[in-house]
Amino acid sequence: MRPIDKLRQMLLAQRRALFEQVARAADDLRWLDTNTHPETEEEAQEQNIANLLARLDDRGNAELRIVDRALTLIEEGDYGTCEDCGDPIPVERLEVLPTATTCVFCAEARERNSRQAVAS
């Protein structure tokens, strides 16, 4: 199996797991919505769970977008190229992080930049 095929499999598996996670969170949220009793003392607790599920849902959807983007790049033949400097991303990095769209150096540079943006 070519490394790219293996990475594609990993991404597809990740996509499936995320779909399930998001679907489950959405299901639980619906259940809570229809079973919330505003006057009971559990209300606050249910609200907490709802918030948690909503966050899980958001994060799951954000991750799904990242996975989808990587899969699109594979289809277009642009996968494995750093989108900042254009260098090939080493397969070892992609095997650890199949959704990586930058090389390690550019990823670190981005992180430094975002930290600076937060600090200033």
**Residues constituting the chain:** 120
CA distances from 37 to 29, 34, 47, 56, 71 (A): 14, 9, 11, 23, 43
- Cβ distance to Zn ion smaller for residue 23 or 97: 97
From 40-48, 50-58, 67-75, 82-90, give the range in contact with Zn ion by CB under 5 A.
Answer: 82-90
54 is a site residue for Zn ion (CB under 5 A): no
CA distances from 106 to 49, 65, 66 (A): 37, 21, 17
From 32-40, 46-54, 59-67, 98-106, give the range in contact with Zn ion by CB under 5 A.
Answer: 98-106
* Number of residues lying near Zn ion (CB under 5 A): 5
Beta carbons within 8 Å of 28's beta carbon, 6+ residues apart: 49, 53
82 is a site residue for Zn ion (CB under 5 A): yes
Please say whether the beta carbons of 32 and 43 come within 8 A: no
89 is a site residue for Zn ion (CB under 5 A): no
68 is a site residue for Zn ion (CB under 5 A): no
* Shortest Å, Cβ 108 to Zn ion: 10
Binding-site ranges for Zn ion (CB under 5 A): 82, 84-85, 103, 106
